[in-house]
């Protein structure tokens, strides 16, 4: 046998939002509607007042100072940024015509050491050598001396490969006896030869004359003659005058080495005079 | 059979050897009887050949004996020639006391041996005769190397007062014959000279110091002269400012108004000057009537001392736009200014040289201790100092041929030297400012 469950109608009916609440009253409903519609309304009104108020205040109240708009800068107002280029500082001074002379004074003699006791000598050896303090005057003098060295007319000869009897203008590092002798003849014939300043360096550089020179048994200049003219009479004349002076002053060519003596003693040689590289 | 072929072969070879021995010369033997080779052929292989170069350069030795004929004009004419050759720094004028030639016997001719003996390379002979109020001058130039035939012969006729100009003209021709470029003998210098408080005059003189004369009115302060079309242009300072005028118009103002107008330089039909008419000293140009004024610079720095006639017609001027006075250049019609001097802190009074063999040069006054004269080679950027330790030296001007530089020195007046500052000679004693050399 089945028995009917107890069924409460309340249980059969679920709760819903539509169910009236006991605490909701008509006043509460009105309040809720007021909040729902009133708050947005109030905010809108406040916003409206703010905007209109600024406009009214702007019209009524005196103008405040406006913020300055920077003017367009004139070209003169711009300080251009400059960056130093990587490099070295070039000389900014005008040239100096006076060439400092290189001092030729002998070096100062070494100071004579005073007598020391053995104890003093031992102490001296034990004491570590400290570098002397820099002397501003000596440093300045040293710098001046270094610059003078660089500009001195008597330049130090740099060591380079060659021969003690070679020429400054030489290019070879090894030479035969004949080559060295020809260099000596070059110096012999070149010394004292000059061309007039009315001949420009450009014009002189293209001139060449050839002269036959007869060398005697005693290495004297027996005779000479123009074999080929340079085309410029003044240039040719300078050579003739030069050789005439050599001959008149009883100059002798340097004695040749034995290996090449037969090419020069009692022979006629050709000397080509070029106007290039005139000083 | 084989025997016969071998013997035939041997015989053929022997004949061939004998023929070769007689047909071709033996290599290495020299025939002493061989005639000398013509001049244009190569040197024989066996002869020793020595090459010599790098000669020294020495002054051309020229002899200028007194002109024959008229007793007073002869020596004076010769002295003009000697002075010209000394000033140009290319000649050594030989002392006439060393001459051994018989001048009376030679006349206008030349016996080369007598001049070779004294080392002369060139000889000038001349003769002056009077023909009423006129003179007739015969001139000859010999080069001793060319023998007794003159290289140059000229005859001049004119008044006695023209003798100096005849000499200058002949010297220019001699220089052109020897160097290929005409000389500048007989050209003129203009400068201003202080006479006292409130008084400066514009002067003109021949470059060798002859005929120093005033061209301004002698009243007030006349200064900053320059040669140009119409005469000598210069500026006059008044209580109301400074205006530009020139000779021949009684100092009527050609360019005036707006403060200071000064530092004129004339090239062709345009006049260049500096003016403060717009408030700041700028460079302007105008036509020869002082019209069509065009402004060429526009910078808050001070722009003065325009000098026209540079390479490509460029204009040099002095400006403080980089802080201190330096020399700039720009096109003559205006445009971008390019700085020229980069050494020294104070450079002014530029002067162009565009006719020399070394390229365009610019002479200027530089302050290095005191004031000294410098040149700048615009191609190589090499600076050359012409003076040092010789007092105050300033306001240089190049001769038209660029062989001479004139400048004022506190040592006593206007000096002339070569472009390296060598061979300085006093030519015009007395105070001088802002020199300009005629073209």
* Domains along chain A with CATH numbers: 180-274 (3.30.1150.10)
Contact check, Cβ <8 Å, B366/A272: no
pLDDT above 90 covers a percentage of chain B that reads: 80
Separation in Å, CA of A151 to nearest CA in chain B: 16
Residue B247: DSSP 8-state: T
Q: Name the nearest CA neighbour of B99 among B115, B122, B112, B110.
A: B115
Separation of alpha carbons A110 and A115, rounded Å: 15
Confidence bin at B31 (pLDDT 50/70/90): very low
- Among left, alpha and beta (phi > 0; psi -120 to 50; other), residue B412 is left
Predicted local distance difference test score (pLDDT) of residue B221? 95
Q: Provide the CATH topology of domain B188-437.
A: Neuraminidase (2.120.10)
Confidence bin at B6 (pLDDT 50/70/90): low
Of A13-22, A89-98, B59-68, B275-284, the range with the lowest mean pLDDT is A13-22
Predicted local distance difference test score (pLDDT) of residue B87? 97
Predicted local distance difference test score (pLDDT) of residue B162? 96
Contacts with B242 (C-beta within 8 Å, 6 or more apart), sequence order: B235, B236, B259, B260, B261, B262
Q: Can you point out the beta strands (E) in A179-267?
A: 194-196, 208-215, 221-228
Answer yes or no: is pLDDT of B14 > 90: no
Answer yes or no: is pLDDT of B112 > 80: yes
User: How confident is the prediction for chain B on average, in pLDDT?
Assistant: 90
Predicted local distance difference test score (pLDDT) of residue B266? 96
Contacts of A185 in chain B (CB under 8 A): 50
Burial pattern A198-211, b for ≥16 Cβ within 10 A else e, equals: bbebebbeebbbbb
On the 0-12 / 13-18 / 19+ scale of CB atoms within 10 A, B423 is middle
Residue numbers of B between 332 and 361 with CB closer than 8 Å to A: 342-344, 357
Separation in Å, CA of B84 to nearest CA in chain A: 14
β-pairing, B282-287 vs B270-275, is antiparallel
CB-closest option in B49, B54, B175 to A278:
B54
Q: Name the nearest CA neighbour of B225 among B239, B209, B246, B205.
A: B246
Answer yes or no: is pLDDT of A116 > 60: no
Separation of alpha carbons A17 and A32, rounded Å: 16
Confidence bin at B39 (pLDDT 50/70/90): very low
A197 touches chain B (CB under 8 A): yes
Predicted local distance difference test score (pLDDT) of residue A214? 94
Structure tokens at B122: 């060139």
Predicted local distance difference test score (pLDDT) of residue B40? 47
Predicted local distance difference test score (pLDDT) of residue A200? 84
A78 touches chain B (CB under 8 A): no
Contacts of A169 in chain B (CB under 8 A): 54
Answer yes or no: is pLDDT of B230 > 60: yes
**Residue of chain B whose alpha carbon sits nearest to that of A178:** B48
Answer yes or no: is pLDDT of B25 > 80: no
What is the separation, in whole angstroms, between the first and last Cα of chain B? 103
| Per-domain boundaries in chain B | 60-179, 188-437
B358-374 pLDDT, tens digit each: 789 999 999 988 999 99
Answer yes or no: is pLDDT of B406 > 60: yes
Separation of alpha carbons A195 and A202, rounded Å: 13
How many contacts does A have with B, using Cβ atoms within 8 A?
A: 139
Answer yes or no: is pLDDT of A174 > 50: yes
Contact check, Cβ <8 Å, B54/A169: yes
CB-closest option in B52, B143, B384 to A233:
B143
Pick the residue of A93, A198, A201, A240 with the most B CBs within 10 A to test the interface with B by mutation: A198
Pick the residue of B52, B144, B387, B391 with the most A CBs within 10 A to test the interface with A by mutation: B52
Pick the residue of B37, B51, B55, B348 with the most A CBs within 10 A to test the interface with A by mutation: B55
Separation of alpha carbons B381 and A165, rounded Å: 38
B235-257 pLDDT, tens digit each: 999 888 899 999 999 999 999 98
Average pLDDT of the residues in A96-107: 70
Separation of alpha carbons B275 and B331, rounded Å: 18
How many residues are present in chain A? 279
**Residue of chain B whose alpha carbon sits nearest to that of A186:** B52
Confidence bin at A19 (pLDDT 50/70/90): very low
Answer yes or no: is pLDDT of A17 > 50: no
**Residue of chain A whose alpha carbon sits nearest to that of B116:** A241
Confidence bin at B108 (pLDDT 50/70/90): very high
Residue B255: DSSP 8-state: B
Check if CATH label 3.40.50.10070 holds for domain B60-179. Answer: yes
Q: Which segment, A14-28, A93-107, B266-280, is predicted with the most confidence on average?
A: B266-280
**pLDDT, greater one: B398 or A120:** B398
**pLDDT, greater one: B142 or A83:** B142
CB-closest option in B49, B56, B144 to A194:
B56
Answer yes or no: is pLDDT of A112 > 70: no
Average pLDDT of the residues in A67-79: 48
**pLDDT, greater one: A51 or B438:** B438
B388 touches chain A (CB under 8 A): yes
């Amino acid at each position: 046998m089945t028995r009917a469950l107890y069924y409460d109608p309340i249980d059969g009916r679920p709760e819903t939002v539509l169910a009236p609440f006991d605490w909701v009253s008509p006043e509460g409903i009105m309040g809720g509607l007021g909040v729902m519609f009133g708050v947005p309304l109030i905010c809108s009104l406040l916003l409206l007042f703010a905007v209109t108020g600024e406009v009214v205040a702007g019209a009524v109240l005196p103008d405040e100072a406006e913020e300055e708009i920077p003017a367009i800068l004139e070209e003169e107002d711009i300080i251009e940024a400059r960056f130093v280029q990587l490099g070295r500082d070039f000389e900014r001074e005008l040239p100096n015509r006076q060439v400092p002379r290189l001092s030729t004074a002998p070096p100062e003699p070494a100071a004579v050491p005073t007598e020391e006791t053995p104890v003093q000598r031992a102490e001296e050896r034990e004491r570590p050598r400290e570098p002397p303090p820099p002397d501003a005057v000596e440093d300045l003098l040293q710098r001046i001396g270094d610059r003078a060295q660089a500009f001195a007319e008597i330049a130090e000869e740099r060591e380079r490969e060659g021969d003690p009897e070679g020429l400054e203008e030489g290019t070879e590092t090894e030479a035969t006896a004949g080559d060295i002798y020809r260099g000596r003849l070059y110096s012999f014939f070149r010394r004292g030869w000059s061309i007039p300043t009315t001949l420009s360096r450009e014009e002189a550089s293209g001139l060449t004359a050839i002269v036959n020179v007869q060398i005697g048994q005693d290495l004297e200049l027996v005779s000479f003659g123009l074999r080929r003219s340079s085309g410029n009479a003044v240039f040719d004349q300078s050579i003739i005058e030069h050789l005439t002076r050599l001959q008149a002053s009883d100059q002798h060519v340097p004695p040749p080495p034995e290996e090449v003596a037969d090419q020069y003693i009692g022979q006629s040689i050709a000397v080509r005079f070029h106007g290039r590289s005139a000083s | 059979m084989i025997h016969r072929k071998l013997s035939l072969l041997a015989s053929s070879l022997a004949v061939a050897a004998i023929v070769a021995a007689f047909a071709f010369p033996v290599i290495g033997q020299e025939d002493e009887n061989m005639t000398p080779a013509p001049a244009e052929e190569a040197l024989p292989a066996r002869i020793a050949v020595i090459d010599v170069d790098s000669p020294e350069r020495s002054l051309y030795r020229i002899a200028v004996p007194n002109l024959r004929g008229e007793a007073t004009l002869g020596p004076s004419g010769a002295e003009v020639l000697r002075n010209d050759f000394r000033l140009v720094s290319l000649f050594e004028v030989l002392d006439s006391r060393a001459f051994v030639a018989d001048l009376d016997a030679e006349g206008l001719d030349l016996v080369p041996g007598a001049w070779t003996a004294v080392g002369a390379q060139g000889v000038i002979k001349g003769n002056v005769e009077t023909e009423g109020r006129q003179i007739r001058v015969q001139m000859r130039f010999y080069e001793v190397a060319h023998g007794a035939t003159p290289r140059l012969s000229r005859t001049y006729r004119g008044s006695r007062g023209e003798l100096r100009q005849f000499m200058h003209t002949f010297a220019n021709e001699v220089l052109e014959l020897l160097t290929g470029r005409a000389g500048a003998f007989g050209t003129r210098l203009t400068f201003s000279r202080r006479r006292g408080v409130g008084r400066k005059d514009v002067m003109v003189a021949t470059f060798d110091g002859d005929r120093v004369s005033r061209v301004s009115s002698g009243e007030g302060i006349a200064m900053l002269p320059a040669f140009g079309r119409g005469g000598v242009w210069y500026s006059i300072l008044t209580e109301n400012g400074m205006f530009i005028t020139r000779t021949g118009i009684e100092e009527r103002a050609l360019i005036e108004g707006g403060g200071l107008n000064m530092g004129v330089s004339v090239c062709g039909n345009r006049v260049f000057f500096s003016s403060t008419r717009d408030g700041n000293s700028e460079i302007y140009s105008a036509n020869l009537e002082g019209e069509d004024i065009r402004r060429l610079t526009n910078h808050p720095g001070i722009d003065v001392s325009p000098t026209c006639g540079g390479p490509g017609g460029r204009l040099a001027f002095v400006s403080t736009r980089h802080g201190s006075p330096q020399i700039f250049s720009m096109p003559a019609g205006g445009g971008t200014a390019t700085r020229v001097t980069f050494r020294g802190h104070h450079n002014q009074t530029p002067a162009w040289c565009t006719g020399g063999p070394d390229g365009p040069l610019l002479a200027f006054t530089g302050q290095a201790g005191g004031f000294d004269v410098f040149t700048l080679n615009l191609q190589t950027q090499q600076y050359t100092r012409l003076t040092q330790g010789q007092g105050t030296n300033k306001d240089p001007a190049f001769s038209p041929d660029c062989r001479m530089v004139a400048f004022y020195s506190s040592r006593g007046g206007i000096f002339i030297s070569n472009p390296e500052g060598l061979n300085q000679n006093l030519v015009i004693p007395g105070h001088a400012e802002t020199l300009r050399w005629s073209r």
